[in-house]
Structure 1
Amino acid sequence: MKAILALEDGSIFKGNSFGAEGEVIGEIVFNTGMTGYQEILTDPSYCGQIVTMTYPLIGNYGVNIDDFESIKPQVKGFIVRELCKTPSNWRSTETLNEYLKRYNIIGIEGIDTRALTRILRDKGTMNGIISTDPNFDIRQRLDEIKNFRINNPVDEVTCKEIQKYPGEGYKVAVIDLGAKANIIRSLVNRGCDVIVFPARSSADEILRHNPDGIMLSNGPGDPKDCSEVIKNIKKLMDSGKPIFGICLGHQLTALANGADTQRLKYGHRGCNHPVKDIKKDLTYITSQNHGYTIVEASLDKTKAEISHINMNDGTIEGVRYKDRPVFTVQFHPEASPGPKDTAYLFDEFLELMKIYGKGKN
């Protein structure tokens, strides 16, 4: 079936649909990863967004039951240059087309994704619509497309009740802002006793479980929309517990400490972003998925220091707080998809719990 992708600036791309039929409006973003489409599709940080893959052939190894980062696709739509209809991989249980159709996710293939990416790089991230309606008229839908906004996506992707992953080591409270499964796996694999809390859980409720450390997860949307979570983070920081924040958790911690955040022109999304650890004087390749960044001038340098920087554009990729055992990073040390170069940060978190917490050595 024919399909159309229309952007809020009036750009039109014509291709073929796959997955579900119908139409969907979302924020159009692009990811530069060559592989990892299954993890990308199920990453809760993509809630409300239509993802464009810049690598030309997608779907060649199918979909398997082991590599999901959440229980279902989180994207609103999917855009590829060429969809592989006959995947070849011993782990594959279904095709990408079958998977998206099962979850009613609309995709479009056969468009010039290079041209689309250039538009987004030049003009910035914008809204768009994918439609299989043969009578689609962008003139009638332009205002609707422009006015689309992702409202409270954290509430949509967070867990609805406390989840427990028992372990014999340190007790870690994970605030689920849209956590990728591999964050929890990375803690469990290190022996941690993990308790996952819904995003709006109060600081008092979390502290009643007496965790040795607190993990603030990744998640979707504008960090400034999470005012309730920001207030809770302030209380959690005052408790003196070791805290490790990733992606949205990194941004919310900065806001809780009086800093500011701003939207990036087109964000960082991919598994090949170079980030420098300033203290180690080493550059690592990282997995990233975010559309906002901390404003450097707003960071109180008497209380916090920049620990990591993005080697492409110089934006802040990590912060350590001087007066308490708290550190955060903008990238994804748990990867999935992507390199595992920065997994050492989980070990540093365990070391902080050993020093400041009361858990098991």
Structure 2
Amino acid sequence: MNPLAAPAGNQPAPALLALENGRCFFGRSCGALGEAFGEAVFNTSMIGYQEVVTDPSYAGQVVALTYPQVGNYGMNARDGQAPHPALEALVVGDLCRTPSHWQSDEALGDYLAREGVVAIEGVDTRALTLCLREEGAMRAAVSTEDLDPESLVERVRASRPIGERDLVAQVSRGQPRTIPARGAARRRVVAVDCGEKAGIMECLAAAGVECELVPWDTPATSILARDPDGVFFSNGPGDPAAIPQVTACARELLGQVPLFGICLGNQVLATAAGASIEKLAFGHHGGNEPVMNLLTGRTEVTAQNHNYGPVFSSLGPLVPELSGGVAEHPGDLRVWSERRIAPVVMNPQVGRVRLTHVNLNDGTPEGLQFLDARAFSLQYHPEARPGPTDARYAFDAFVRLMDGDPEYLEQGRA
């Protein structure tokens, strides 16, 4: 088939995926017609494409799914993580147009077209994934309009990098709203919405937490005026450096009220304590990332979606007597998983900070505990939408933190 030929009859329109490095992939349109620019990443989840497509943390990104066929169980009204998708474009190997599942309401392709999401199928997603693993996440575009590789690559290289885009403001809800606890409310929390997932709010509700979601730029004074039992900082897209207002809010709240952060929320709390943030080569995107819980010695299989993360050593020097006698930061944090030690640093702003979780694939930090400021955070998504449920104890841990339990995380053995 000539990739530049016009579609005949009901045949899908040709489409082109172009990468910043000059690599191009021809395919067929399987969503809305048009074009979209963003940062190309790959997701390794075998299922859960609806949750991936509707995850607000994918704002600004061109998402490639590595599983060969996508869409076989359709889309339904219950599993979406936001009212509308935020990703720029979707890339798949083969899209199923005739789903079969008792809960299916519509086909994935029909949903993408209805929501205006540009998508391409027929792409060698294995070759694309290898390219991104070797060279890192990069700018990309998917187009059904510009099918000239040289032209589209040139436009990709001229496009705005994701780190310069104001993505959180794009996905945060505009008005406060309350999500009631499931059953009797044990605690009342203000949740700073940087692009929250519905699954996270559901897990907080299941833990007996009533959440009032507030926009991402709500100041700390307004949050404290609500007199909450705790404050939650949600997941969200992009670089935490682009949202200094949220970091300032977290910095003011640290030590005043119990805090819990997930994903971008983890980066926000780390940044509030003065940590450096690094951009990972190709990020963590999938439902099968192994993480060692240094407090329990258990390995959790986790769901993740982020391209940035904190640098643990930047939080301060190690406290040897709380770090197994070690005084110098190791080059690879997986050393701590081998020794079953949860090291502690002394931070000049908030006191002692403990590393609680480590990624076993690349040794990046996955969890922090602020010992003198009643706060903790996780880089992964403990609600697992999609993914395993190994880490759902985190929501009960937040309630125990608000209850004043000093061992709120050590009890996390669910």
TM-score computed with the length of structure 1 as normaliser: 0.96
The answer on 1:333 being equivalent to 2:382 is: yes
Residue 359 of structure 1 corresponds to: none
Residue 70 of structure 2 corresponds to: 58
Alignment of 1:246-257 (within 5 A): 246-257=262-273
Task: Kindly indicate whether the alpha-carbon contact (under 8 Å) linking 2:255 and 2:374 is maintained by their aligned counterparts in 1.
Answer: no
Q: What is the SS of the residue equivalent to 1:238?
A: coil
Residue 83 of structure 1 corresponds to: 95
Residue 254 of structure 2 corresponds to: 237
**CA distance in structure 1 between the partners assigned to 2:180 and 2:14 by the alignment:** 49
- The code of the aligned residue for 2:268 comes to L
Residue 24 of structure 2 corresponds to: 12
Alignment partner of 1:293 out of 299, 309, 318 = 309
Alignment of 1:276-287 (within 5 A): 276-287=292-303
**CA distance in structure 2 between the partners assigned to 1:152 and 1:236 by the alignment:** 23
TM-score computed with the length of structure 2 as normaliser: 0.84
**CA distance in structure 1 between the partners assigned to 2:20 and 2:149 by the alignment:** 9
Residue 86 of structure 2 corresponds to: 74
Total equivalences in the alignment:
354
Larger radius of gyration: 2
Q: What is the SS of the residue equivalent to 2:404?
A: helix
The answer on 1:111 being equivalent to 2:100 is: no
Residue 162 of structure 1 corresponds to: 176
User: C-alpha displacement at 1:138, in angstroms?
Assistant: 3.4
Superimposed CA distance per residue, residues 140-195 of structure 1 (whole angstroms, 9 cap, x where no aligned partner): 34343123223110000001011112343200111101110111111111222210
Alignment partner of 1:316 out of 365, 371, 384 = 365
Residue 123 of structure 1 corresponds to: 135
User: C-alpha displacement at 1:228, in angstroms?
Assistant: 1.0
The unaligned stretches of length 5 or more in structure 2 are 1-12, 317-344, 347-351, 406-414
The answer on 1:142 being equivalent to 2:156 is: no
User: C-alpha displacement at 1:310, in angstroms?
Assistant: 0.2
Q: What is the SS of the residue equivalent to 2:248?
A: helix
Residue 306 of structure 1 corresponds to: 355
Task: Kindly indicate whether the alpha-carbon contact (under 8 Å) linking 2:15 and 2:147 is maintained by their aligned counterparts in 1.
Answer: no
- The code of the aligned residue for 2:376 comes to F
User: C-alpha displacement at 1:354, in angstroms?
Assistant: 1.0
**CA distance in structure 2 between the partners assigned to 1:178 and 1:30 by the alignment:** 20
The answer on 1:31 being equivalent to 2:43 is: yes
Q: What is the SS of the residue equivalent to 2:128?
A: helix
Residue 174 of structure 1 corresponds to: 191
Superimposed CA distance per residue, residues 122-143 of structure 1 (whole angstroms, 9 cap, x where no aligned partner): 000011111112x532333434
User: C-alpha displacement at 1:225, in angstroms?
Assistant: 1.1
- The code of the aligned residue for 2:36 comes to V
**CA distance in structure 2 between the partners assigned to 1:139 and 1:79 by the alignment:** 20
The answer on 1:355 being equivalent to 2:398 is: no
The answer on 1:217 being equivalent to 2:230 is: no
**CA distance in structure 2 between the partners assigned to 1:334 and 1:216 by the alignment:** 14
- The code of the aligned residue for 1:285 comes to V
- The code of the aligned residue for 2:196 comes to A
**CA distance in structure 1 between the partners assigned to 2:225 and 2:68 by the alignment:** 50
- The code of the aligned residue for 1:211 comes to P
User: C-alpha displacement at 1:322, in angstroms?
Assistant: 1.8
The unaligned stretches of length 5 or more in structure 1 are 357-361
Superimposed CA distance per residue, residues 220-275 of structure 1 (whole angstroms, 9 cap, x where no aligned partner): 00111111111110111131x11111000000111100110010000000000000
* Between 254-263 and 137-146, the greater mean CA deviation after superposition: 137-146
**CA distance in structure 2 between the partners assigned to 1:19 and 1:258 by the alignment:** 43
Alignment partner of 1:270 out of 281, 286, 306 = 286
Superimposed CA distance per residue, residues 56-92 of structure 1 (whole angstroms, 9 cap, x where no aligned partner): 0100000000000000111110000011111110000
**CA distance in structure 2 between the partners assigned to 1:53 and 1:139 by the alignment:** 25
**CA distance in structure 1 between the partners assigned to 2:45 and 2:148 by the alignment:** 33
* Between 255-264 and 140-149, the greater mean CA deviation after superposition: 140-149
- The code of the aligned residue for 1:287 comes to A
Alignment partner of 1:153 out of 167, 181, 184 = 167
Q: What is the SS of the residue equivalent to 1:69?
A: coil
**CA distance in structure 1 between the partners assigned to 2:400 and 2:364 by the alignment:** 27
Q: What is the SS of the residue equivalent to 1:265?
A: strand
User: C-alpha displacement at 1:324, in angstroms?
Assistant: 1.4
Task: Kindly indicate whether the alpha-carbon contact (under 8 Å) linking 2:60 and 2:87 is maintained by their aligned counterparts in 1.
Answer: yes
User: C-alpha displacement at 1:55, in angstroms?
Assistant: 0.4
- The code of the aligned residue for 2:353 comes to A
- The code of the aligned residue for 1:333 comes to P
Alignment of 1:201-216 (within 5 A): 201-216=218-233
Residue 7 of structure 2 corresponds to: none
User: C-alpha displacement at 1:297, in angstroms?
Assistant: 2.1
Q: What is the SS of the residue equivalent to 1:62?
A: coil
Q: CA RMSD in A?
A: 1.1
Overall identity of the aligned pairs, in %:
43
Residue 393 of structure 2 corresponds to: 344
